[in-house]
A and B are shown apart, each in its own frame.
Chain A
Amino acid sequence: MSAPRTTSTRAAVGALLRKELLLERKVPQLIPAMALFSVVTFVVFHFGLQRRVLEGELAAGVLSVTLLFAAMLGANRLFVADKEEGGFDALLLAPVDRTALFIAKVIAFLAFLVLLEIVMVPAFAILLLGPTPSAAELAQLVAMLALADIGIAIIGTLVGALSIQTRARDLILPLIALPLLVPVIICLARGIAPLLADTGAATLAGRWPAVLGLYDLIFGLLAYAVFDFLLDD
């Protein structure tokens, strides 16, 4: 009588995103764990490096590495509910575009990372960071973190979906995701190092956000194209 009723991708993304955020709000799991992990990692770095305050390259490295490892923790849990509680099956039964799940997961993971950083960056400033960044430096730092978060969210979602179906999922995920994220770490650490340096009044070199943006674009398109193949069963 009428054409089969399908939901638009935008509506599907909205519904899936609401589900993710509702789940995390009702039963907070990822963000508290990632935030706690990041603070513990700062303590570990304090003893491992035997420094009371950090600045410049060392500060940038500690911040980037902690963000990356905390994100690995989150990426490991990203698809657990979908796998164990039947979220994948429900999605495959629903007449929606499957890449809606990818977009919703990337946005949700991005939101989790931003919330993590709201805890993590002040904690870093209090516990380890020596110099106090100016407002302009802080704005550049936030921009770099945002660009890095997009890349981490894309790779984390893709590799999370890849590894959830393997027998050794939390073993496989960091092994694949960490080398893939090395360019992000390079750009983030090199980019924010002058912003956290003692010398003050530093500006961000333009090539680091440019490469990060390029990375986000390439892997965003690529992951969008191949994500479909991780679902059809």
Chain B
Amino acid sequence: MYGTRLRPLSTATVFALLGAFALAAWYAPMDADQGFTQKIIYVHVPLAIVTLCGFVFGGIMAIKHLRTRDPRYDLRSYTAIHVAQIFGVGALITGMIWARASWGVWWEWREATLVSFLIVFLLFATYQPLRFSIEDPERQARYASVFAVTAGAFVPVNFLAVRLADAYIHPRVLTTSGSGLTAEMSVAFFACVAAMALFYVTMWRFELAHKHTRFQLRALRRKLGGDEIAYGRSAAPQMLDSDLPAPS
């Protein structure tokens, strides 16, 4: 159930990304001030947007998990947050490269979006340590969901607070998207956001399929080798054999 239609999805993702980057490279005009380095917004900003949406999505899956107690939702929430963390590293690195290229510094505290992104990223970085330090799998899933809901709600609140803190002190001349874009740039930009979102969904599906395959493999090995094959301790969700659908 998890591994189906991965091939067409992957193909679509590759073409979408290639197409969106081609639009960004050739269709969108060169920025008058920054030249080619400005093109990094077609990677950096979509990465950041998708990361934040991924965190919120993980929180929504966590709400579903708390309501239904279905371990599959915990797995979806964990995977959503895990993939978003990887995208987040990419967003931070590309953001720092852009800051270095256009402002000459690796880090800019006055750029509210960058700072709030770092805070959210640091908060979600505690997700795996939290999971790992709870041994009982059921409790681990429940507590992780409580964390994911709280942290998911924190994302918009944090952005509001950090932006308020800055907007009145320093004028926001360094806008990252939206108002400063021409029509052609907007087309390329939104194409990149859509392609990046598709990339995220693909990665999410791949990790779900991978986790599910591992659970099933372990269930089969336990059937063959007896129960002495332990579940093992991990930060990732553990599905008990009884939670898995019967192998066909």
* Contact A226-B66, Cβ < 8 Å, known A165-B139, A183-B157, A218-B157: yes
* Contact A165-B129, Cβ < 8 Å, known A186-B162, A211-B164: no
Expressed in whole angstroms, the Cα–Cα distance for A169 and B134 within the complex equals: 10
* Contact A166-B157, Cβ < 8 Å, known A229-B66, A230-B143: no
A85 adjacent to chain B (CB < 8 Å)? no
Expressed in whole angstroms, the Cα–Cα distance for A34 and B129 within the complex equals: 27
Most buried by B among A168, A183, A187: A183
* Contact A226-B133, Cβ < 8 Å, known A162-B143, A175-B126: no
Which of chain A's residues have a CB closer than 8 A to the CB of B161?
A: 182-183, 186-187, 211, 215
Could you say which interface size class chain A belongs to? Answer: 20 to 34
A222 adjacent to chain B (CB < 8 Å)? yes
A172 adjacent to chain B (CB < 8 Å)? yes
* Least CB distance, A203 to chain B, in whole angstroms: 15
* Least CB distance, B143 to chain A, in whole angstroms: 6
* Contact A229-B119, Cβ < 8 Å, known A175-B129, A215-B161, A218-B153: no
Which of chain B's residues have a CB closer than 8 A to the CB of A186?
A: 161-162, 164-165
Which of chain B's residues have a CB closer than 8 A to the CB of A51?
A: none
Expressed in whole angstroms, the Cα–Cα distance for A146 and B11 within the complex equals: 56
Asked if residues B165 and A190 are in contact (CB atoms below 8 Å), the reply is: yes
A207 adjacent to chain B (CB < 8 Å)? yes
Which of chain B's residues have a CB closer than 8 A to the CB of A226?
A: 66, 146, 149-150
Instruction: Give the residue name and chain of the A residue nearest to B120 (CB).
Output: A179
A73 adjacent to chain B (CB < 8 Å)? no
Which of chain A's residues have a CB closer than 8 A to the CB of B151?
A: 180
Which of chain B's residues have a CB closer than 8 A to the CB of A168?
A: 129, 133
Which of chain B's residues have a CB closer than 8 A to the CB of A223?
A: 150
* Contact A229-B134, Cβ < 8 Å, known A187-B161, A211-B164, A222-B153: no
Expressed in whole angstroms, the Cα–Cα distance for A118 and B164 within the complex equals: 30
* Least CB distance, A191 to chain B, in whole angstroms: 10
Expressed in whole angstroms, the Cα–Cα distance for A141 and B78 within the complex equals: 42
Which of chain B's residues have a CB closer than 8 A to the CB of A218?
A: 153, 157
Which of chain B's residues have a CB closer than 8 A to the CB of A167?
A: 133-135
Which of chain B's residues have a CB closer than 8 A to the CB of A183?
A: 157-158, 160-162
Which of chain A's residues have a CB closer than 8 A to the CB of B153?
A: 218-219, 222
A91 adjacent to chain B (CB < 8 Å)? no
* Least CB distance, B74 to chain A, in whole angstroms: 12
* Least CB distance, B40 to chain A, in whole angstroms: 26
Dominant secondary structure at the A interface? helix
Asked if residues B123 and A166 are in contact (CB atoms below 8 Å), the reply is: no
Instruction: Give the residue name and chain of the A residue nearest to B135 (CB).
Output: A167
A176 adjacent to chain B (CB < 8 Å)? yes
Which of chain B's residues have a CB closer than 8 A to the CB of A230?
A: 142-143, 146
Asked if residues A166 and B133 are in contact (CB atoms below 8 Å), the reply is: yes
Asked if residues A172 and B133 are in contact (CB atoms below 8 Å), the reply is: yes
A158 adjacent to chain B (CB < 8 Å)? yes
Most buried by B among A207, A229, A233: A229
Which of chain A's residues have a CB closer than 8 A to the CB of B147?
A: 162, 176
Expressed in whole angstroms, the Cα–Cα distance for A176 and B134 within the complex equals: 15
Expressed in whole angstroms, the Cα–Cα distance for A226 and B168 within the complex equals: 35
B229 adjacent to chain A (CB < 8 Å)? no
B122 adjacent to chain A (CB < 8 Å)? yes
Instruction: Give the residue name and chain of the A residue nearest to B152 (CB).
Output: A222
Which of chain A's residues have a CB closer than 8 A to the CB of B106?
A: none
Instruction: Give the residue name and chain of the B residue nearest to A163 (CB).
Output: B130
Can you spell out 18 A-B residue pairs with CB atoms less than 8 angstroms apart?
A158-B150, A165-B134, A167-B134, A168-B133, A169-B133, A172-B130, A182-B158, A182-B162, A186-B164, A186-B165, A187-B165, A190-B165, A214-B157, A215-B157, A215-B161, A222-B149, A226-B146, A229-B146
Query: Top 8 nearest A-B pairs by Cβ distance?
Result: A183-B161, A179-B123, A166-B133, A175-B126, A168-B133, A186-B165, A167-B133, A226-B146
